[in-house]
Structure 1
Amino acid sequence: MDGGKIQRMRNQILNGPIVKTLILLAYPLIINQLVQVLYNLTDTFWLGKLGREELAAPGTAWPLISFFISIGMGFANAGFAFVSQYVGAGNYKKANRAAGALYSLMMLFAIAVGMVGIILAPYLLRFMNVSDTVYPYALSYTRVIFAGIPFSFTLFAFNFLLRAIGDTKTPVRINIATVLLNLVLDPFFIFGWGPFPELGVVGAAVATMLSNSLGSLVGGYLLFSGKVGIHLTLHNLKPDWPFYSRIFRVGIPSSIGSSTTAFGFVILTRIIFTIGKLYGQAHGIEKFEDIAFATYSITNRLTSFMFAFSDGISMAMGTMVGQAVGARLYQRAKEVAEKTMAINFTILGVGTLLFILFRVQIFRFFINDPAIIAESAKVVKYFAISLPFFGIFAAVENVFRSAGHTKKSMVLDMFRLWVLRLPLSYGLGVLMRDTAGMWLGMGLSNILGAVVALAWFLRGSWMKAIIEEEPGEHG
């Protein structure tokens, strides 16, 4: 591990001006998020040219894929907390050990997830109540993405490890290259341009898998060649069962929280199709469930554009909070978090206003479907105003994870989704006999979740390092 480079960054994170350091760490992450959103928007744009069902397929598949990915992300979050806190404490030897343990664990886990996902995909899509028109597209897309999961996981591990030591630029360069490759390949595989086969929806998944594979290989090369702050060796990758147990102890609550949240979105997909079918028929609209879900898919793409800014700042905050907690600078960690929440609320407030003002033009860009544009009016009326509050919720959740208090983030995740969003979305949808109730339930879950999260954050019970039992060696 390059101690000199990391020491300079550590000094900036622990002692530099908070907002300036946040921006320094965040701007590459924001660029990365925006490029990722650009890919998602382009994907939606091209698939919209094929039709409503094709456009809805990836949006249907991703809650299922995210469920499996999120289990591994819990352990990645645990690894991030250990690496960042060891760096904050100046214990570089153990930071490198933690990095190797995380990388090998993610590789093993990813292979298992890929195989299980391919086998279970048809059963889980049927459970989600996916319409017969969307199902075949969603199944094909899902299976190709699962085949590429091992590469996606190791790319995630690379991103988490470098972000933990304060290097937010290197992962962004690789991610931008992979996303740009994805953007170029998308139309070739979807429409069969030139010598490429015409694969339709599957083409979008193939482009994603190939791009992630290349990014993963480059990231692995950098880690093992020692050209970044972390230098992995085959010795680092050997199973370290005592340390694995510590990663599991911190990671399991995060995995449970993330995976139950992701599974909650599987249930939410079922709710959207169910409410759309029930009350679309009541209003005499055929296949209204496809209209409702296509609207939800486009809305997700649009909100992800706004969240690109707030997520980038929240991830930068996570690095600062993790290292500050490792150095026992708890008041600084709290101040970093509070300033991040204020910035996020402002950014998402402005984004929401633009979303409301230009809703029709934005939705029409993706698909000129009068039914979807009419449904989007309900999104603005009942859901959009809650987005700035979600910025606060996400920041608090990230504070808990970065400090290693993953049980708290698990409870927050489960509370917002299982106690608030799912019952409110379904209950209000049935009560109002319209998808408007569903959108209202989603909005209320963001606002109420933010209030609870902020109150818990202010209690300060997260201000305790998870590496306190470690001896203070440097190396």
Structure 2
Amino acid sequence: MNQSLPPLDPAARARAARTQALLSAPIGPTLAKLAAPNILAMVVQAAQSIAEAYFASRIGVTALAGLALVFPLVMLTQMLSAGAMGGAISASVARALGAGNPDRAATLTITAWLLAVGFALVMAAIMLLFGPAIFVTLGGGPESVAAAVTYAAVFFPGCIAIWMCHASLSVIRGTGDMGMPSLLLLLVSTVSIPLAGGFALGWGPLPALGMAGLPLGLIVAYGVGALVAVGYIAAGRTGLAFKGALGRIDGGMVRDIMSVGAMASVNTVLTVLTVVMMVGMVGRHGEGALAGYGLGARLEFLMIPVIFGIGAAMTSMVGANIGAGAKARALRVAWTGSLAGAAIVGVIGLVLALFPDLWLGIFLEPTNTEALTAGRAYFHIVAPFYPFFGLGLALYFASQGAGRMLWPVIGSFSRIGVAIGGAVLLRSVTTIGVNGVFMAIAFAMLVYGSIISIAVWRGRWA
């Protein structure tokens, strides 16, 4: 018996109308309308990350170097919860609704929450056991490792708030509603900035906790966001009915999410591992070089939320069309959004390739010569290749909606292989030092974007 909401329920009607728009409205305007609030929210989230680095720089260069060590793992948490598993959740919900099955979408929601809790607990346990060893392996000195451990000791036990918030927002996006998730993320990111600065530097009545205060502000903000998002869904505002949903959970529901989420997570781990390995190689050139590259890598990571703004819309739109059997339209959605994302990232890369101090000057004083030299070299060499990174990443989000993750994963394996192999080769046969690492990173971006775009173009998700 159908457990969905009655046909005249306002929330159910709104949800059905959103799904119909994903299936039949003009692609360009619809994608722009869906992506605009996401992009706004991601810009503010990027500002939060910039502010965090700025607050760390006020604590000292050692704190900045420690943040460079822990930041890839923090971004891994964000990328897994919002992008890899989050995108898989959105795609699964969108496919279920595109196929006219709201009951399945409701059950997938409960499944998503259970998976989010499980992943958060696993990440916290891994960092508790292996965090210090990871930071040492990355080349950090005793002081920078201590700073990284202090940050991780707060962030990872609290990351369940981030997982639950992103899982819930992904469900809402899967119903075609981009406005509410974007507004909530906007508020979470905005509130987290003064909280992180206040807890770290001791503003007003807040204690000056130093490095531990940076993640505390973020966790508090996401905790509130998670409560709001879960309550919004449970109250029926998405048009999904949950009567009997818990009893319908089975292995098929888990496989529906994990068949895409597992591959997407591998892709995300490889993306972060590429940066982590490069951090280890750059760290051998000194703390100043590590701090300079850390700022460059931070901006590279900030390109991900920018693309996510478009990619989240593509995931839902592609997923709905795949669920409805409209593969040709799904492919047009993918190329439209991906080329737009590559153009946006390309403009950012061009500006910073020409004027790297626009970014570096926010965090570094003129006396930080070693860090400035490394950061400038990174942007001069790597930033012109940002469009290829943006194109591959956008097509990754589109591929989540289609449930076709093989080639994005192959692209990421190729990227890490080229980056590591190229860096080792250039260091061994040339005397260009850390610039060889940056050249390998740039060429790896070219390979990554090219492989995924050619695969989608030739395969057409058949």
Question: Normalised by the size of structure 1, how large is the TM-score?
Answer: 0.88
State the partner residue of 1:292.
Answer: 289
Residue 150 (structure 1) aligned to one of 129, 146, 160: 160
Distance in 1 between residues matched to 2:398 and 2:203, nearest whole Å: 46
Q: How does 1:240-279 map to 2 (within 5 A)?
A: 240-274=250-284, 276=285
Shift of 1:115: 2.9
CA spacing shift, 1:42–1:456, aligned 2, 3 Å:
same
Q: How does 1:310-329 map to 2 (within 5 A)?
A: 310-329=307-326
State the partner residue of 1:353.
Answer: 350
Deviations 1:221-251 (A, max 9, x none): 1121222344556853875234224433443
Distance in 1 between residues matched to 2:242 and 2:428, nearest whole Å: 54
Matched, 1:421 2:431: no
Deviations 1:266-290 (A, max 9, x none): 322212213x2xxxxxxxxxxxx22
Shift of 1:13: 1.5
Deviations 1:392-443 (A, max 9, x none): 11122222222112333322222222x2222223332343331111111110
Shift of 1:142: 1.0
Residue 67 (structure 2) aligned to one of 55, 58, 64: 58
**Secondary structure, counterpart of 1:133 in structure 2:** helix
Matched, 1:85 2:92: no
State the partner residue of 2:39.
Answer: 30
Residue type matched to 1:17 in 2?
A: P
State the partner residue of 1:388.
Answer: 387
- Determine if contact 1:223/1:232 at 8 Å carries over to the other structure: no
Gaps spanning 5+ residues in structure 1: where? 277-288, 464-475
Identity value in percent? 22
Residue 359 (structure 2) aligned to one of 358, 362, 380: 362
- Determine if contact 1:103/1:237 at 8 Å carries over to the other structure: no
Shift of 1:61: 0.6
Residue type matched to 2:461 in 1?
A: W
Matched, 1:199 2:192: no
CA spacing shift, 1:342–1:7, aligned 2, 3 Å:
same
Relative to structure 2, which stretch is displaced further, 136-145 or 12-21? 12-21
Deviations 1:287-328 (A, max 9, x none): xx2222211222234345555443312221222111111111
CA spacing shift, 1:350–1:90, aligned 2, 3 Å:
same
Shift of 1:170: 0.8
Shift of 1:93: 1.6
Distance in 1 between residues matched to 2:192 and 2:32, nearest whole Å: 28
- Determine if contact 2:293/2:371 at 8 Å carries over to the other structure: no
Q: Between Structure 1 and Structure 2, how many residues are aligned?
A: 449
State the partner residue of 2:52.
Answer: 43
Residue 189 (structure 1) aligned to one of 184, 195, 199: 199
- Determine if contact 2:106/2:240 at 8 Å carries over to the other structure: yes
State the partner residue of 2:457.
Answer: 458
Residue type matched to 2:424 in 1?
A: Y
Shift of 1:383: 0.8
CA spacing shift, 1:248–1:22, aligned 2, 3 Å:
closer
Question: Normalised by the size of structure 2, how large is the TM-score?
Answer: 0.90
State the partner residue of 2:8.
Answer: none
- Determine if contact 1:104/1:238 at 8 Å carries over to the other structure: no
Deviations 1:37-88 (A, max 9, x none): 1111111112112221111222211223445666666444433322111112
Relative to structure 2, which stretch is displaced further, 247-256 or 120-129? 247-256
Residue type matched to 1:228 in 2?
A: T
Shift of 1:220: 1.4
Distance in 2 between residues matched to 1:259 and 1:234, nearest whole Å: 35
- Determine if contact 2:91/2:401 at 8 Å carries over to the other structure: yes
**Secondary structure, counterpart of 1:49 in structure 2:** helix
Deviations 1:199-231 (A, max 9, x none): 111110111111111111111111212223445
Residue type matched to 1:348 in 2?
A: V
CA spacing shift, 1:173–1:139, aligned 2, 3 Å:
same
Shift of 1:195: 2.7
Distance in 1 between residues matched to 2:334 and 2:266, nearest whole Å: 24
Deviations 1:368-412 (A, max 9, x none): 122222223312331111001111111222222221123333222
Superposition CA RMSD, Å: 2.3
Relative to structure 2, which stretch is displaced further, 442-451 or 79-88? 79-88
State the partner residue of 1:334.
Answer: 331
Shift of 1:146: 0.5
- Determine if contact 1:37/1:301 at 8 Å carries over to the other structure: no
Q: How does 1:413-452 map to 2 (within 5 A)?
A: 413-417=412-416, 419-433=417-431, 434-452=433-451
CA spacing shift, 1:246–1:330, aligned 2, 3 Å:
closer
- Determine if contact 2:270/2:413 at 8 Å carries over to the other structure: yes
Gaps spanning 5+ residues in structure 2: where? 6-10
Distance in 2 between residues matched to 1:461 and 1:363, nearest whole Å: 41
State the partner residue of 1:21.
Answer: 30
Matched, 1:213 2:223: yes
Distance in 2 between residues matched to 1:192 and 1:441, nearest whole Å: 41
Relative to structure 2, which stretch is displaced further, 351-360 or 396-405? 351-360
Distance in 2 between residues matched to 1:457 and 1:170, nearest whole Å: 31
